[in-house]
Amino acid sequence: MIRIPAVPLPEGRVYQAPVELDELFDGVQIEISPRWMGQKIRKDDMYMEIGGPKHGYQSYIHVEVAKDERAVEDGRIELIGPDISEVEPGSSFPFGVWLRCWGRQLIEDHVDPLIRAGFMPFEQGEGWMLVNTRDTIWIRLNKESAAKSSWFRMGQSLLGMAKINFPLVEKGEALIIIGAPEVGGRDLIKKILDTTIRPEWEAYDARLMGLEDEDVDVFYGCTLCQTFAPNHVCCITPQRNPYCGIMSYLGAKATVEIDPYGYSFVMPKGECLDPVMGRYTGVDQVVYERSSRSVKNVNLYSSLRYPQTNCGCFEAAAFYIPELDGIGLVDRRFAGDTPIGTNFSKLAGFMSGGNQNHGTMGLSIRTPKSKKFLQGDGGWERIVWIPKEYKILLADCIPEEIYDKIATEEVGIDIPGIKKFLIEKQHPIVNRFWKNGEPVPLRIPKANEPWPDESSVS
C-alpha cells in the first residue's frame, strides 16, 4: 500500500487489476497505441482536465522503485478523489499518480525510462491528451472516451504498460489522487509535491549533474534520428546530453539495459586521446561503424573541429563567426538573423541531415550547463554573441565575468559593431584568440572533409 510519510492521506477506493501477463488489459475499453499519440483535445471537446496551467502545474506522475518485494501489492490500484464518471463535464483538477514497481533486476537508475511508461497510457490512450512531463504536466480526456474510461482502468493500463514495455518490472501498484476539494484539492497535491516528489526530482538531477565523463567506464550512443539523417550518431555522456534533450546519460544507460538491441547502444570510451577536445578511440570507432563509415572522428567538446553530426531536432545551435574568430549561440525561438546573416531556420537547414559540419553544432537547452561545454574551442571565452532571451536563460552557466561581454541582438548583428563592442568590453577573446587585436579567421573545411593540417586524424 502506497503511503506518503509526510502527508496524511484520506481513505481511497481500492481496486484489483489483473496481474497475469495475458490478462493485463482485460476490461480496458480504449485503444492504447501510438496511433493516438499527440492528440489535441480542445476545450469544447474536453470532458475533464487534470494538471496544466489552471493549477499552476501543481501535479505529478511519480515512479518509485521498491527495494523490497513485500512493499508492492501487485495490481493494487487506489483512487483518492472522484472517478471520471463522478465529475461534471468540463471539470479540471490537480492530480498525482504514484507508481511503485518492483523487480529482481530493477534499480533506481531505471526510474527515467519507467516514468515514460507512466506517461504512456495518457500519451497513447484513445481520447487522452498529454502535454509536457514532470513539473509542467497537462492531461485532458475527451467526451467520447470518457464513457469508456475510469481511473481503475487507467491505473490498470499504467501498470500493464510498465510491465509489457519494461519486462524488468515484475510487480506494480498505483496510487491515483484526483485533487478535488473534498479530498484536499490543490493543497494536498502541493504538500506531496513539496515534501516528497520535488526533493526526489532534485536529488536525481543533482546525481546526474554531479556525474562527470571521467567517472564512467562507457558512454552511450543513439541512432533514433537516422530515419531522417541516415549517417547521424548521437553521443551521450554524463556531460553531454543529446541535442533533442529527451534523454539523459542515466536514461540512456537504463534504456540500453532494458532493450540492448534498440536504437540506443553502448559506446566504449577506449583510450582518451585528447581530454580537452574530448577525443576517445572507442567513440571514434563506434561512430564510424554506425555512421555507415562516413564519420571517422568526433570531438565531443568542440563545435569547430570534427564536431558531432547533427540530426535536426536540436534545440539550439553553436556557429562559427569567421570575421570575429568567435562562436555564436542561437536557440530555436529566436526568429531574427544572426551575425552570419542567417536566421536559426536557415542555419538549422544547413546543419541538419547527419553531415559533419565543422564550425556548427546542435545543442540541447541543457548542453551549455556542462562544465565541458565547447572547452575544445575555448569554452565561454570563445562565445561572442547570443540572443538576449537565450542569454538570460543561460545566465546561471555563463561565467559572471564574461556575461556582460557577450553581445546580443541589442548590440547588433553587424560584424564591425560587435567587434567594437568586444574590444570595448575587453572580452577575453580579444587577448586569448585574436592576434594583435585582430581576429584571424579559421579556414573551416567543407562538410565531412578533414582539416587541412591533418588529412586524416587517426
Partner 1 sequence: MSTDTLNEGWHRLYDEKPLYQRDELLKALTAFLEYAGYTLVPADPIGFMKPDIKASRTVGTTRYEMIFVVREAVNQAVEGLRELACAKCFRKDSLDYVLALPPVSEHYLIEFLIEKEDWFFPIKDHLFQIWLLNPGREKVDCLLGWPRDNDLGHYFSNPQLSGFATYIANKAANKIMAEEF
What residues line the site for partner 1 (CB under 8 A)?
Answer: 33-40, 42-43, 53, 123, 129-133, 136, 138, 224-230, 244, 246, 262-263, 311-313, 332, 345-346, 348-349, 351-353
Closer CB to partner 1, residue 37 or residue 206?
A: 37
CB of 226 to partner 1, least distance (A): 8
In angstroms, what is the minimal distance from the CB of 168 to partner 1? 18
Give the residue with the Cβ less far from partner 1, 36 or 451. 36
Q: Using the minimum distance from each CB to partner 1, give the nearer residue, 42 or 104.
A: 42
Provide, rounded to whole angstroms, the least separation between the CB of residue 148 and partner 1. 17
Please provide the distance, in angstroms rounded to a whole number, between the alpha carbons at the two ends of the chain: 58
Cβ 303 to partner 1 shortest distance, Å: 17
**Left (φ > 0), alpha (ψ -120 to 50) or beta: where does 306 sit?**
left
Q: Are 284 and 295 in contact (CB under 8 A)?
A: no
What 3-state class would DSSP assign to 205? helix
Q: Are 2 and 65 in contact (CB under 8 A)?
A: no
Closest separation in Å from C-beta 360 to partner 1: 12
Q: What gap in Å lies between CA 363 and CA 314, rounded to an integer?
A: 6
**How large is the angle between the packed helices 151-165 and 111-124, nearest 10 degrees?**
130
The answer to whether the beta carbons of residues 228 and 310 sit under 8 Å apart is no
Q: Which is nearer to partner 1, 8 or 260 (CB)?
A: 260
For residue 62, the surrounding DSSP H or E stretch is strand 60-65
Q: What angle do CA 274, 277, 278 make, to 5 degrees?
A: 70
Assess contact for 315 and 363: CB atoms under 8 A: yes
Report how far apart, in Å, the C-alpha atoms of 376 and of each of 279, 305, 314, 320, 355 are: 10, 9, 20, 13, 20
31 vs 414, beta carbon nearer partner 1: 31
Nearest CB to partner 1, comparing residues 331 and 409: 331
Residue partners of 8: CB distance under 8 A and separation at least 6 = none
Rounded CA-CA distance 46/44 in Å is 6
Least distance to partner 1 from the beta carbon of 258, Å?
A: 12
Q: Least distance from C-beta 228 to partner 1, angstroms?
A: 4
- What is the nearest approach in angstroms of partner 1 to the Cβ of residue 136? 8
Rank residues 177 and 229 by Cβ distance to partner 1 and give the closer one. 229
Closer residue to partner 1 in complex, CB, 82/312:
312
Q: Phi, psi at residue 432, to the nearest 5°?
A: -80, -35
Beta strands in 314-429 (DSSP E): 316-321, 326-331, 360-363, 383-385
